[in-house]
Amino acid sequence: MRTLRYLIEKEFKQIRRDRFLPRIIFMIPLLQLLILPFAANFEMRNINLGVIDLDHSVYSQRLIDKVLSSGYFRLTDVSSSYEEGLSAIEDDRADILLEIPADFEKNLSTLSISANAINGTKGGLGSAYLSSIIQSFNTEIGNIMSVPTGPTITSTYLYNPHLNYKNYMVPGIIVFLLSIIGGALSALNIVSEKEKGTIEQINVTPVPKVVFLLSKLIPFWVIGLVLLTLGSLIAWLVYGLAPVGSFATIYLFAAIYLIAFTGLGLTISAVSSTQSQAMFTAFFFLIIFALMSGLFTPINSMPEWAQKVTLFNPIRYFIDVMRMVYLKGSHFADLTHYFFIVCLFAIGFNALAIIAYRKR
């Protein structure tokens, strides 16, 4: 135990003295937390709208006004035929076309929407926004004309009433930061001792390998929890976001989750002999884990095989947990299933690390 203390003391000394490491550990995550939630905003604004108004009636004018007043669209093209409108899309002057047929006011006949789907998100969201505006326009008209328009649909967004993207990006980004610290930095740190040859000098001392490896993992476990604290603080100060549920649940999950990721880092360090190898392997896993975590795209919209793959992605579970605790206020009792899975990852990755190190 005394040896472990000396080793950890040495580790912190080295991290503190490194010109680069403290910055990469604290500055970069915090910057990410300040920049990413704004950049990764999926709300679409300023969609260029082309209008083909063949009716030129009061109703068509009212519809166009309603669309523009929503704030999502700006009118960039007015054409007198569909072909003309299409050329506006080709020239990139319009992202989406709204065609109002000549007998719109008289018969309330069918409108048509055409969207440029080169940017799928923009096309999809744009036509969805437009449809919902038209839908509500229909209701208004129906009321005036006292024509029954069938049942109307209203939706309420539970737990995140304003559909604020930041509210569910921020907890996810915190999870990603913990994964980098636990997985990549711990791997790089051990491999750097291999590269510099210092591990050789340690190996001839009576320090058991387990103690040496623990001395590498514990600092990153501690740093991970400190970062979690800092991240939560930023979430609260900058985004006004505090968990509806309890911090205790979050820290308990984070503690186990970090053990899982340091285990992954350890495995990577066992199979790599240079820092660039370790870096590459760590990033391979982290990028796949991140893209398939549900942080950017919902898992439910992935193809079925991809959804199965995400079952092996630890980031996915912790992001779910963070979002549930932060937004929904889930209690530990609601999350025991997740807790069990995160524990399994911790055991699995560390078992892998032990096997990888035994082989050497």
Q: Is 192 in the site for another protein (CB under 8 A)?
A: no
Task: Count other Cβ atoms within 10 Å, centred on residue 71.
Answer: 9
Say how far apart CA 257 and CA 289 lie, in whole Å.
14
Pick the piece of the chain touching another protein (CB under 8 A) from 28-36, 178-186, 196-204, 236-244.
196-204
Position among 148, 150, 151, 197 found at the interface with another protein (CB under 8 A): 197
Name which of 190 and 259 has its Cβ closer to another protein.
Answer: 190
Q: Is 150 in the site for another protein (CB under 8 A)?
A: no
Name which of 141, 114, 146 is nearest 130 in CA terms. Answer: 114
Q: Is 151 in the site for another protein (CB under 8 A)?
A: no
Determine phi and psi for 48, rounding to 5 degrees.
-75, 125
Who contacts 39 (Cβ-Cβ below 8 Å, separation ≥6)?
Answer: none
Who contacts 123 (Cβ-Cβ below 8 Å, separation ≥6)?
Answer: 95, 96, 115, 116, 117
Position among 151, 206, 298, 303 found at the interface with another protein (CB under 8 A): 206
Name which of 40 and 199 has its Cβ closer to another protein.
Answer: 199
Q: How far is the CB of 225 from another protein (least distance, A)?
A: 24
- 294: tokens are 């549900």
Name which of 151 and 197 has its Cβ closer to another protein.
Answer: 197
Q: Mark 214-242 as b/e (b = at least 16 C-beta within 10 Å).
A: bbbbbbbbebbbebbebbbebbeeebebe
Q: Is 360 in the site for another protein (CB under 8 A)?
A: no
Q: How far is the CB of 10 from another protein (least distance, A)?
A: 6
Q: Is 2 in the site for another protein (CB under 8 A)?
A: yes
Position among 46, 81, 139, 201 found at the interface with another protein (CB under 8 A): 201
Q: Is 195 in the site for another protein (CB under 8 A)?
A: no
Who contacts 349 (Cβ-Cβ below 8 Å, separation ≥6)?
Answer: 260, 261, 263, 264, 266, 267
Name which of 42, 257, 254, 300 is nearest 168 in CA terms. Answer: 42
Per-residue binding letters, 207-236, with another protein (x by CB under 8 A): x-----------------------------
Name which of 218 and 347 has its Cβ closer to another protein.
Answer: 218
Q: Is 205 in the site for another protein (CB under 8 A)?
A: yes
Say how far apart CA 61 and CA 82 lie, in whole Å.
18
Pick the piece of the chain touching another protein (CB under 8 A) from 62-70, 156-164, 194-202, 260-268.
194-202
- 151: tokens are 């049942």
Q: How far is the CB of 264 from another protein (least distance, A)?
A: 26
Could you tell me the CA-to-CA distances from 286 to 67, 265, 274, 281 in Å, in that order?
42, 11, 18, 9
Q: Is 204 in the site for another protein (CB under 8 A)?
A: yes
Binding residues (CB under 8 A) for another protein: these are 2-3, 6-7, 10, 13-14, 17-18, 196-198, 200-207
